[in-house]
A and B are shown apart, each in its own frame.
Chain A
Amino acid sequence: MSSRKKTILKVIILGDSGVGKTSLMQQFINGKFSNQYKATIGADFLPKDLAIDDKQVTMQIWDTAGQERFQSLGVAFYRGSDCCVLVYDVTNTKSFESISSWKDEFLVQANVKDPDNFPFVVIGNKIDVEENKRLISGKKAQALCAQLGNLPYFETSAKEAVNVEQAFDVVARNALQQEESLEFADDYTDAVNIHVDGDNGSCAC
Chain B
Amino acid sequence: MSQVNDYVFSTEESSYPPNQRSLPFFFKNLNNSSHSQSDKIIGASYSHFDRPSGSRSRTSISPERTSIGSVGSLSPRLKTSKALKRLSVFDDDDDWDDGIEEEFLGKETKSLGKLYPDLEYVKPEFQQPSTAPARPVSLIRENYKDILEDPFVILNGLDLQDYKHHKLTELLNADSESLDLNELKKQSWKGLPTELRGLVWQLLLGYIPSNPSRRQSVLQRKRKEYNDTIEQIFNKSKDQIIWHQIIIDVPRTNPSIKLYSYPVIQRLLERLLYVWAIRHPASGYVQGINDLATPILQVFLQSYLVAQANVANLDPDKLDVEILNHVEADTFWCLTKILDTIQDNYIHEQPGIMRQVESLANLTLRIDEKLYTHIKEQNLEFLQFSFRWMNCMLMRELKMDLIVRMWDTYISEFPKGFNEFHVYVCCAFLMKFSEELKEMEFQEMIMYLQDTSKTENWDETDVEMLLSEAYIWQTLYRNATAHLK
Binding site for B on A (CB under 8 A): 17-20, 22-23, 33, 35-39, 41-47, 58, 60, 65, 67, 69-70, 72-73, 76-77, 89, 91-92, 126, 128-130, 133, 158-159
Q: Let me know if A45 and B446 touch, CB within 8 A.
A: yes
Whole-angstrom distance from the CB of B383 to the nearest CB of chain A? Answer: 4
Whole-angstrom distance from the CB of A157 to the nearest CB of chain B? Answer: 9
Which of the residues A33, A35, A70, A92 comes within 8 Å of B46, measured between beta carbons? A35
Q: Please tell me if B29 contacts chain A, counting CB pairs below 8 Å.
A: no
Once the chains are docked, how many angstroms separate the CA of A84 from the CA of B105?
46
Chain B residues with CB below 8 A from A126, complex form: 48-50
Interface residues of B in 333-383 (CB under 8 A from A): 346, 348-350, 354, 381, 383
Chain B residues with CB below 8 A from A65, complex form: 287
Q: Please tell me if B89 contacts chain A, counting CB pairs below 8 Å.
A: no
Given that A37-B48, A39-B287 are contacting pairs, would A69 and B252 also be in contact in the complex, using a CB cutoff of 8 Å? no
Interface residues of B in 366-419 (CB under 8 A from A): 381, 383-384, 387-388, 391-392, 396
Which of the residues B54, B62, B286, B388 comes within 8 Å of A67, measured between beta carbons? B286
Q: Let me know if A18 and B248 touch, CB within 8 A.
A: yes
Per DSSP, are chain A's interface residues mostly helix, strand or loop, or mixed?
A: loop
Chain B residues with CB below 8 A from A73, complex form: 383, 387
Would you list 7 pairs from A and B whose C-beta atoms are within 8 A, ordered by A residue? A19-B48, A35-B47, A45-B384, A45-B446, A47-B443, A76-B381, A89-B49
Q: Please tell me if B44 contacts chain A, counting CB pairs below 8 Å.
A: yes
Whole-angstrom distance from the CB of A85 to the nearest CB of chain B? Answer: 16
Q: Please tell me if B1 contacts chain A, counting CB pairs below 8 Å.
A: no
Q: Let me know if B381 and A18 touch, CB within 8 A.
A: no
Chain A residues with CB below 8 A from B54, complex form: 130
Q: Let me know if A130 and B53 touch, CB within 8 A.
A: yes
Q: Sort chain B's interface into a size bin.
A: 35 or more
Given that A41-B396, A73-B383, A91-B62 are contacting pairs, would A58 and B443 also be in contact in the complex, using a CB cutoff of 8 Å? yes
Q: Let me know if A91 and B387 touch, CB within 8 A.
A: no
Whole-angstrom distance from the CB of B343 to the nearest CB of chain A? Answer: 13
Q: Let me know if B443 and A44 touch, CB within 8 A.
A: no
B381 (CB) vs chain A CBs: closest residue: A76
Once the chains are docked, how many angstroms separate the CA of A73 from the CA of B392?
15
A47 (CB) vs chain B CBs: closest residue: B443
Binding site for A on B (CB under 8 A): 41, 44-51, 53-54, 58, 62-63, 245, 248-249, 252-256, 284, 286-288, 290, 346, 348-350, 354, 381, 383-384, 387-388, 391-392, 396, 443, 446-447, 450
Once the chains are docked, how many angstroms separate the CA of A89 from the CA of B253?
21
Given that A45-B446, A130-B58 are contacting pairs, would A76 and B252 also be in contact in the complex, using a CB cutoff of 8 Å? no
Q: Let me know if A72 and B350 touch, CB within 8 A.
A: yes
Q: Let me know if B41 and A41 touch, CB within 8 A.
A: no
Which of the residues B245, B287, B384 comes within 8 Å of A41, measured between beta carbons? B287
A94 (CB) vs chain B CBs: closest residue: B244
Whole-angstrom distance from the CB of B156 to the nearest CB of chain A? Answer: 40
Q: Let me know if B249 and A39 touch, CB within 8 A.
A: yes
Q: Give the top 7 A-B pairs by smallest Cβ distance, nearest first.
A: A42-B387, A35-B45, A72-B349, A18-B248, A36-B255, A76-B383, A41-B388
Chain B residues with CB below 8 A from A130, complex form: 53-54, 58
Q: Let me know if B48 and A18 touch, CB within 8 A.
A: yes
Whole-angstrom distance from the CB of A68 to the nearest CB of chain B? Answer: 9
Chain A residues with CB below 8 A from B443, complex form: 47, 58, 60
Once the chains are docked, how many angstroms separate the CA of A6 from the CA of B255?
38
Scoring B47, B54, B249, B350 by chain A CB atoms within 10 A of each residue's CB, the highest score goes to B47
Given that A37-B47, A129-B53 are contacting pairs, would A77 and B396 also be in contact in the complex, using a CB cutoff of 8 Å? no
Once the chains are docked, how many angstroms separate the CA of A45 from the CA of B381?
13
